[in-house]
Every structure is written in C-alpha cells, then in structure tokens.
Structure 1
Amino acid sequence: MSDRQTAVSRRDPGRRKPSTGRAAARRDRKGGKWRRGWFIAVLAILVAVPLLFHRHVPNSIGNLGSLLDTFLPWVGVAIPVLALAAILRRSATAGVALLVPILVWGFMYGNLLVPGKGGGSHDLRVLSHNVDAANKDPERTARDLIAADADIVALEEITPADLKVYKAQFAKVYPHVVARGTVALWSKFPVEESRSVDVGFTWTRALRAEVATPEGKVAVYVAHLASVRIGTSGFTSNQRNDTIKQLGQQIAGEKLAGVIVMGDFNGTANDRSLAPLTVGLRSAQGVAGYGFGFTWPSDFPMARIDHILVRGVTPTKAWVMKSTGSDHRPVVAELRI
C-alpha cells in the first residue's frame, strides 16, 4: 500500500465499510415502527375501556350509564380512525394495540353482522311503527305499511285525527282493529280479547290483545314507553324506567305460551334499564336480522329504540323498512309459531 493510500485510510477509517451506516439506518427505521405511535396505542386501549366496562358506569350522575349503553356500538367508529392514523404513522405498536378494541367490539357485536341468521318458513309477519304525532302525511305512511303485507300491524303515537285516517286506509286489508289511547293494533286474524295495559300514565299507552292465528293464539302487546330527556340535569329516564317495570311485570305473568311485544321503548336492547322488560324475551332483530337495525332518527338512524320481542315463537327473519314520513322507521319480523 502506498503512503498516500495509508494516509487516506487513516483519515477515513470507515471508508472500507461503507455499508455499515446504511445497515444501522435500516435497523433504526425498523425499530422505529415499534417506538412510534404510542399515543395512538394508548387511545386504542382507551376505546376498549367503555366497551368492556360500560356496565360499571353509574346512572347516579345524569344517567350516564344508560346513555352510554344506548349508543355503545358507535364507540367502534374510533377504531378505523385510529387504524388510519397507525398506518400513516407506520406504527406497529399502535397496530397491535388496535387488536384489543377490534376483538372486544367484534365479540360484542360481530354476531349482528353474520349473514344467514334465522331462516325457514314463517306463520306470521308482524310490523311495529311509531307513526309520529307530528306526521304531516299519515296517508302516505299507511300506504307504505300496507305494502309490507304484515299480518299484524302495531302503531304507536297515534293522534285521534290520524287514527281515523289509519282506520280508513287499513279497512280493506285488516278487518280486526283494537285502539287504546295512543296505541293501536290491526290484524288479518280475529282478535278474541283485548284490554288496556296500565303502565303508569294518565292516558293509555299500552294494550294487550289475543290474536287467533291459524297456528294458535298468541298474546300481542303494543306499548309506547315514556320518552327520555337530555337536559341540564343530564340524561333523564326515570318515568320511562317506571313504565318498563310495570309492563315487564305484566308480561312476566302472561299465561299464553306465544308472546309478541312490539313498540317504541325509547331505549336500546343494550340499555340496562330495559332489563325488567327484556328478561325472558328474545329480540327478533338479534335472532334473525342482519345488522344493528337502527330505527331512530329516521333520516340518519343511530339507535334501535323500536323493538319486536318474542317468547314461545321463533323469529325467522327481521328487518327495518325505509322512512315513511315519521321520525322513526318501521320494524318487521317473520315468526314461526
């Protein structure tokens, strides 16, 4: 080696190993995938917390527990947002952390997104709809409901003036009708017995009817429970909860084997406050429907507060109709008795 080469080598000892710096950079970049995105990872874990522990959120302050229960599925909206952030940040740590809320949300709601539930023949098609006291076009609503070709139609929030409209529109299709206060039932099959159901109001908002179907009698309850309110004191639902308890007690004592409960309950199946009513009953949407079946508000549904619950009969199909002009969407189910 010449003196000049020796001098250059001494001045730049790393010259003979030019790849060493690039390899280190690659290692740094690879390791950075795990060092980056910790903030996103923490947010991902925080998303899983309300999903896992929503039952522990108390109702003592503004009924926050019930409010969270009502809109709980929407917590999952944060997952794709955080996933996009993790991709842009190229963070492996955030990606792994996101598996926690994904698995929790999937365990809680994945069954609702499974296609092909229910199935088989049905004996009865039932429909329930809060038609909205402020509905500007009840005739259009009636036509939409008739087109669904249900055997039994339950309506809630009917004004006296609109009741005349529905009776006139339904007369040719549904020869049997029971109306009590602001709720009513129309049936293609004979109604052998009916009565008002006291749920604690000064006016009637629930009824019970025995419908004689070709496969046997079923008890049909139609109810419109008290509304919830969101105000300065929070999410208030005390009156609704009282009506739930009273209706639940009467349904629990029902003697007929086949029971169908329909109406606007102003609460979702996840709302812990509905437990006195839903115990022993199955949701037709949960058993035989696809998706969440949100019904309110009709323009952009965010919660399912309109329900068809059953006992002693088997749901084979369930779905939500398009808007009819009401602020709610109708719910439909096919049942095997």
Structure 2
Amino acid sequence: MKKFDSILTFLAWSYLAVSITTLTFMYLAGDRWWPGTLLLYGPRWVLTLPLFPLLPLALWRRVRLLVPLLLAGTIVVGPFMGMQWAFSMPNNANGHVVRVLTCNIQTGNIDCKALSQLIREKNVDLVALQECPPSLQLDLPPGWQMIQTGILAILSRYSIQAHEPIMAPHPPHVWPRHSLLPCSVTTPEGEFIFGSMYLPSPRYGLQHILDRAIGINPRKADLLVAETENRQKVSELVRNSLKFRESPLIIAGDFNMPVESNIYQTYWSEFSNAFAEKSFGYGWTYRDYAYGIPINLRIDHVLTTNGAHPLQCFVEKYIGSDHRPVISDIYISRIK
C-alpha cells in the first residue's frame, strides 16, 4: 500500500501543478497562440474530472492530500472556468437608469414571442440584436423604434438616431459584414451612445483543426491562426472608432470571445464589464458541442464607459438561439 500511497501523492500534487500551468497557459496564450486558443474555447470543465476519483481516494488513504486537491479544484472551478465573484452594488446610483438586453438571434432562429415577452416582462428600454434578419417582427409596446443595418439591429423605447456603422471582414464570408451599429439615444434626462456589437468568430478555424481520427491536427492550424489575426485587427478597428466619443457609452453584443482572451484584454478590458463587475457565477451565454462534448462560454457582453456604470447583470434562459439573452441595468451618472 505504500506504493499506492506514493502514486496517490504524486497524482494529487501533479494535478495541482497541471491546474496552475493550464490556467497560466490559457491567460498567456489564449487568442495569441493557436493551442491556447483551443484551450480558451474548449470544454474547460473536463479538467474537473480527476477530482472525482482523487478526492475519495485521498479521504480513504491520506487526508492531507486534500490540501493540493482542494487548491486545484478551486483554481479549476474558479478562474479557469470563468467564475465571477462580484456582489457589490454602486453606492450612489442616482443617475438615469436604463435596462438593456442583448442577444445573437442566430439569423432569426429564435422564438419571437418569447423574446417579445421577455422585453415586456423585464421592462427593457434598449435592445441590441445580432444576426438579425430583415423579416424579424416583435410584439412590442407602441412607440418603440427600430434601426437596422445588415445583421445588426437596435430597438428602443426612446428616440434613437443611427451613426455610421463599422464594417469589417468576417471570414469565411466574402464581403465585409457589419461589426458595430452605434446610435444616439435621447431620453428626457439627456443623450448617450448605445451600440450593437458583432465581432468575427473563431468557429471555422476551430472546426477545421479538429480531426475525428486524431482529435487535433496541428497541420490544419493555418485557418485558426488567420482567423485570430483578423479578429485582432477587427477589434482594433472597432475600438479605435470609439476612442474619441466623449458621451456616456454602452456597447452590447456578441464579442465572440471570453474575457480571458488576449484580444479582449488588449482592446476591451478598460471598459466596465457588467457581468464581471456585478454578478456571481459563470454567466455562460453560448452553448456548442465538439464531438458530442458540451462547451459553454461567456462571449456576449455589456460594456460601459464615460459615465455609464453597470448596476446589475443577469443571463436569461435560451429562447431558441444558441445564445442566451443578457440583461443589464446601467446608470448614467454623467448624461449630456
């Protein structure tokens, strides 16, 4: 049994080392080097599986091994899987409060009745939609306005005026697609900027590199590398288009990247992220499968700056699309 105990000790401490190394690698290489991008968009929960045999074995043979195992479990279940721990509420939320909703509706593959009901029941003021078909019809209260450019749409119970949209390459589509639709929102208290965002996806590169025979084929990494480079350029383009806006700003939409992405950290981390700052949990907004293995990610975000501050944020249930609606209360402390 001494040999068994030695093996168990080795496995417990190795699991801690692997957890730390994997977390570090994801943050350093995610959307910077293709193996890190695979890890970033993969089924992260798989790293919890060693806990199931190791924890009971440690309780049976060596209780002190619970220390490295629990440390490893905290790392995996916490930061590696994207757990957010925020509970705080702003102390002086005495500005104008607006409730925004964002959802990628998967080219209209959504229950319009459920979305309309959600907007009504949750008293939403502004809606940002992505992959929105021109034929979309929602049952909203009288007086609501809608603007649409390409696959991006904004609906509002306030008066809105569209600004020049930003277009960028979205491979494998041949022609550039709309990446940002900004507009001015005029309320009785003043004006601010609201935008519907849709950034390019790494989906096709991720699908291309997967191989049913060997799992992952490094020789097919070229498309993922090219997509990552393009995604970085598009984020830079869109971010630069917002640099000189001084009005309170709310950007909501499908960023197609989690907050751990190096692209996100480079171009979007200076904004306040509503879920990251005001919510508890994982807040997964997107569901997919790879070889039948479920993958859950938080890639839809509500970002604020210039006197717009998140008050609370929550993710709703699926209503037909592969994305879940995200709702956030934003208060404007410096409205123009």
Identity %: 21
Structure 2 counterpart of 1:322: 317
Structure 2 counterpart of 1:217: 191
Equivalent-residue separation in structure 2 for 1:216 and 1:71 (angstroms):
43
TM-score, normalised via structure 1 length: 0.77
Q: What amino acid is aligned across from residue 248 of structure 1 in structure 2?
A: R
Deviations 1:90-132 (A, max 9, x none): 2245323224424545874799554633256571111101111
C-alpha distance 303-91 of structure 1, shift in aligned 2 (>3 A): same
Residue 158 of structure 2, aligned match among 174, 189, 205: 189
Q: Does 43-52 or 177-186 show the bigger shift? A: 43-52
Residue 97 of structure 1, aligned match among 43, 49, 68: 68
Equivalent-residue separation in structure 2 for 1:35 and 1:58 (angstroms):
32
TM-score, normalised via structure 2 length: 0.77
C-alpha distance 34-118 of structure 1, shift in aligned 2 (>3 A): farther
8 Å Cα contact 2:197/2:255 also seen in 1: yes
Q: CA deviation at 1:158?
A: 0.9
C-alpha distance 112-315 of structure 1, shift in aligned 2 (>3 A): farther
Q: CA-atom RMSD, angstroms?
A: 3.3
Equivalent-residue separation in structure 2 for 1:182 and 1:242 (angstroms):
20
Q: What amino acid is aligned across from residue 27 of structure 2 in structure 1?
A: R
Equivalent-residue separation in structure 2 for 1:193 and 1:32 (angstroms):
68
Structure 2 counterpart of 1:22: none
Counting helix residues as a fraction of each chain, which structure ranks higher? Answer: 1
Q: What amino acid is aligned across from residue 318 of structure 2 in structure 1?
A: S
Residue 9 of structure 2, aligned match among 37, 42, 51: 37
Counting strand residues as a fraction of each chain, which structure ranks higher? Answer: 2
Deviations 1:148-194 (A, max 9, x none): 221101111011222xx13xx23x35522221111111111111453
Q: What amino acid is aligned across from residue 180 of structure 2 in structure 1?
A: A
8 Å Cα contact 2:108/2:132 also seen in 1: no
Residue 267 of structure 2, aligned match among 264, 271, 277: 277
C-alpha distance 109-286 of structure 1, shift in aligned 2 (>3 A): farther
Larger Rg: 1
Matched, 1:260 2:250: yes
Q: CA deviation at 1:275?
A: 3.0
Q: CA deviation at 1:210?
A: 1.1
Structure 1 counterpart of 2:301: 307
Structure 1: unaligned runs, 5 residues or longer: 1-27
Q: CA deviation at 1:145?
A: 3.3
Equivalent-residue separation in structure 2 for 1:281 and 1:189 (angstroms):
24
Residue 233 of structure 2, aligned match among 242, 245, 249: 242
Higher RCO (Cα < 8 Å, 6 or more apart):
2
Structure 1 counterpart of 2:280: 290
8 Å Cα contact 1:298/1:328 also seen in 2: no
C-alpha distance 32-130 of structure 1, shift in aligned 2 (>3 A): closer
Matched, 1:138 2:112: yes
8 Å Cα contact 1:222/1:261 also seen in 2: yes
Equivalent residue of 1:245, what SS? helix
8 Å Cα contact 2:32/2:262 also seen in 1: no
C-alpha distance 129-270 of structure 1, shift in aligned 2 (>3 A): same
Equivalent-residue separation in structure 1 for 2:242 and 2:53 (angstroms):
44
